[in-house]
Amino acid sequence: MFAVIESGGKQYRVTNGDIIKIESLAVEPGAGVIFDKVLMLNDDKEIKIGTPILEGVTVTGEAIEHGRHKKIEILKFKRRKHHMKRQGHRQNYTAVKITALDGKAAEPKP
């Protein structure tokens, strides 16, 4: 059983027990997270596809931690012009553990 959810403008394929790193959310670690933008749900018997989202279907998770990804090096270089510019970027993330698909197995913590 798996679902495809949308969070932060990106789509994630999740199953029960997965830990995903998504765009930073304003929740405390240990708090519950509800994803209501479910694009697809596969329960091993049938596949439900939304247009664009499924109504009444939720995926529940628990925020584990906040952190930052590895640094991405950005290098701008122009040959023969003595021009080189270096820059780095680290994106913030929230690690979320998926606890229930379709919101039936567990309710989020307050």
| Cα 49 to Cα 81: distance, rounded to the nearest angstrom | 53
Q: What predicted TM-score, i.e. pTM, was given to this entire model?
A: 0.82
Q: Any long-range contacts for 10-18 (C-beta under 8 Å, 24+ apart)?
A: 11/39, 14/59, 14/98, 14/101, 15/98, 15/101, 16/98, 16/99, 16/100, 16/101, 16/105, 17/97, 17/98, 18/97, 18/98
Instruction: Tell me what pLDDT residue 107 has.
Output: 53
Question: Nearest CA to 93 among 25, 6, 11, 2?
Answer: 25
Instruction: Indicate whether 110 pLDDT > 80.
Output: no
Q: What is the mean pLDDT of residues 77-103?
A: 94
Per-residue pLDDT of 59-85, as tens digits, reads 999 999 999 999 999 999 999 999 999
Per-residue pLDDT of 7-61, as tens digits, reads 999 999 999 999 999 999 999 999 999 999 999 999 888 899 998 999 889 999 9
